Amino acid sequence: MDVNAFNALKTYNAAQKTLNAQKTATNVRAEQGGESFQPANVVKDLAGAVAKSESAASAFMTGGADPHSVVEAMASAELAVETAVTLRNRVVEAYQELLRMPV
């Protein structure tokens, strides 16, 4: 692994640009009246993705949908479930870390 100052600086600058772009997008969304992170909305989106996947699969079984739309809906549902599981795991890890803290 080659670590030098130039590569480190280049990586740092790329990370800063990404972070600034994310901050700008968040500020624009907030100025436009966009909602911040709401757990209820996340759960609704997850349930919507899974429901869409189920309806596409049942439509495919009855001959009412093409395979491409089914695969697309299944991939979307899989991504939503993986994201929810990852989020849940992070919350559990944080809670366990708090429990390990000395009083």
How many domains are there within the chain? 2
- Asked if 53 and 69 touch (Cβ cutoff 8 Å), the reply is no
- Amino acid 1: pLDDT: 46
* One-letter amino acid for residue 91 of the chain: V
pTM above 0.85, yes or no: no
- Whether residue 45 sits in one domain with residue 11: no
- Whether residue 75 sits in one domain with residue 43: yes
- Whether residue 28 sits in one domain with residue 5: yes
- Whether residue 62 sits in one domain with residue 90: yes
19-50 pLDDT, tens digit each? 777 667 666 555 555 556 677 888 888 888 88
Structural domain of residue 24, as residue ranges? 1-36
Tokens of 64: 């009412």
- Whether residue 45 sits in one domain with residue 28: no
- Whether residue 70 sits in one domain with residue 97: yes
Confidence grade of residue 98 (pLDDT, cut at 50, 70, 90): very high
Most confident of 2-6, 21-25, 43-47, 91-95: 91-95
- Whether residue 63 sits in one domain with residue 27: no
Q: How far is CA 20 from CA 2, 14, 17, 52, in A?
A: 27, 10, 5, 34
Confidence grade of residue 95 (pLDDT, cut at 50, 70, 90): very high
